Amino acid sequence: MKEKQASSEISRREAMKLLTAGSAAGIIGLFGAPAARAATQTKPSYAKGMPPVKIKSVKAIATAPEGSNLVLVKVDTTEPGLYGLGCATFTQRAVAVIAAIDSYLNDFCAGKDVDNIEDMWQSAFVSSYWRNGPVLNNALSGLDMALWDIKGKRAGMPVYQLLGGKCRIAVDCYAHASGPSPEALADRVQQFMDQGFRHVRIQQGGYGGVGTVKQQPDFKQAGFGREQDQFMNQGTYLRNVPVMFDVVRKRCGEEVELLHDIHERVEPIDAINLIKQLEQYHPYFIEDPFSPENMKWFRHLRTHTTVPIAMGELFNNYNEFRDYMVEQLFDYIRIHISQIGGITPAMKIARLGEWFNIKTAWHGPGDVSPVGHAANAHIDLAVWNFGIQESHFWNEKAQAVFPGCQTYNNGYMYINEAPGLGVDINEKEAAKYPIGTRSNWTVRKSDGTIIRP
Ligand code: MG
């Protein structure tokens, strides 16, 4: 009897609430047929009168307007005209990601609610049982970003608003300067400084100085490997980098922040010695001193130098960051946002960084699509512990494929204020630039030994 009274009390209170709100749904709930009442009860309160939206289809779109393979996920919904876009770019194995999206993710998602991003992420993540690989994480990232895009569009807000709103005016970026000699490189740094950049990454030639050494390696003379395999002389690289810093500092002054990426291409103990020598040039950060197989070397590095370190673009699982961040073994989080699985896991790692004073420095080269760059930027704007953002300047073809691309001014990246992620895709334009299956990441020592990135 008591129970019955309590339940009728609740209904009365709910009825009053609905009547005061004056919503059509409320009135139907009170006076409508049982079926209408049931429909109202299942409608989530957070939807505030918006009809439920379901996923109709999930498909991959591939394009290469600048030569690098880009893979996008388009999530179409039951609401006419409403769709979301996400970046799923694993440029080196793009075709495998497309199969994961079109053949598995579409089937997994069709008919599901677009609202529950966390639940969708968690369930899709384990839906293959075996997980964490770059192929499946990239597919998952495309879905995750597309759902954030949809949520922003439904709310009428840019995604950064949903993440907490702006912490800063715009996204401070670093530019890439490279040159065949330290002097040519210094000229390039100066050009970026003249454009307003306060941070410049300096590399002589490709990663590890690839392409700058004219010596013909023994493996090529012996006909070992493929014609396009690259050669790196680790000793030359290790001697050149301090000279490069010295020349750029002398020519460009002390104020510009200098960054450098070792790209894991030397022995760990050599990387430590190199970073110690660079201390006098106070780099903003040195990136990727060790490959993920050599993570324990960070403890040795920290006892020998105070140069700030950036790490993480090769990590697959967000758990890989945890222990090294808790131990404060690096200072900047390098996340390739599609590799880690999208905005949802990237936000968790960014927040973890706040507790340990570790800042973000998301990976942002030309093999992150403009949609991925937008996702980076929305997080950059919203988290307190933002550090710096890697920039990429899209050519005209890419801008035609992706209306709403980010822009740069005075070294800052700006996004448009459109609801969602703010970047669209012109599928007709995208189809003009088919993707390929070749990637050239084979780098060898003179005797032919593979150098791990
Ligand atoms: Mg890197």
Last residue of a domain, one of 121, 142, 157: 157
Specify if 382 maps to a domain: yes
Alpha-carbon dihedral angle through residues 391, 394, 398, 403, given to the nearest 10 degrees? 80
At 141 the pLDDT is 98
Which of residues 130, 157, 184 is at a domain's end?
157
Measure 50 CA to ligand 1 centroid, in angstroms: 43
**CA separation for the pair 48, 63 (Å, rounded):** 38
Query: What per-residue confidence (pLDDT) applies to 10?
Result: 41
CA of 262 to the centre of ligand 1 (A): 8
Rounded to the nearest 10°, the torsion over CA 326, 386, 390, 184 is: -90
Interval between CA 441 and ligand 1 midpoint (Å): 13
Q: Pick the catalytic residue from 83, 160, 174, 207.
A: 207
295 and 400 assigned to the same domain: yes
Q: What is the pLDDT of residue 27?
A: 35
CA of residue 365 to ligand 1 center, whole Å:
9
pLDDT value at residue 416: 94
Same domain, 151 and 193: no
Structure tokens at 199: 């941070």
Residue 370: the pLDDT is 98
Are 392 and 351 contained in the same domain? Answer: yes
- Give the pLDDT confidence score for residue 47 in this predicted structure: 55
My answer on whether 261 and 366 are in the same domain is yes
**Region of residue 369 (left: phi > 0; alpha: psi -120 to 50; beta: else):** beta
Closest C-alpha among 114, 48, 117 to residue 83: 114
Strand partners, 349: none
Q: Is 207 a catalytic residue?
A: yes
Task: Tell me, in angstroms, the distance from the centre of ligand 1 to residue 260's CA.
Answer: 9
Residue 450 counted as domain residue: no
pLDDT at 48: 60
User: Dihedral of CA 44/49/52/58: which sign?
Assistant: negative
CATH code of residue 90: 3.30.390.10
Among residues 260, 263, 336, 363, the one annotated as catalytic is 263
Domain count within the chain: 3
What is the CA(288)–ligand 1 centre distance, in A? Answer: 6
Beta carbons of 388 and 332 less than 8 angstroms apart: yes
pLDDT tens string for the chain (453 positions)? 344 444 444 444 444 343 334 333 333 333 334 444 444 455 554 456 677 899 999 999 999 999 999 999 999 999 999 999 999 999 999 999 999 999 999 999 999 999 999 999 999 999 999 998 999 999 999 999 999 999 999 999 999 999 999 999 999 999 999 999 999 999 999 999 999 999 999 999 888 777 777 778 999 999 999 999 999 999 999 999 999 999 999 999 999 999 999 999 999 999 999 999 999 999 999 999 999 999 999 999 999 999 999 999 999 999 999 999 999 999 999 999 999 999 999 999 999 999 999 999 999 999 999 999 999 999 999 999 999 999 999 999 999 999 999 999 999 999 999 999 999 999 999 999 999 998 888 999 999 999 988
Measured between alpha carbons, how far is 45 from 25 in angstroms, rounded to an integer? 11
Note whether residue 449 is domain-resident.
no
Give the type of residue at 283.
P
CATH number assigned to the domain comprising residue 305: 3.20.20.120
Q: Are strands 230-231 and 443-444 parallel, antiparallel or unpaired?
A: parallel
- Residues 137-149 as b/e (b if ≥16 CB within 10 A, e otherwise) read bbbbbbbbbbbbb
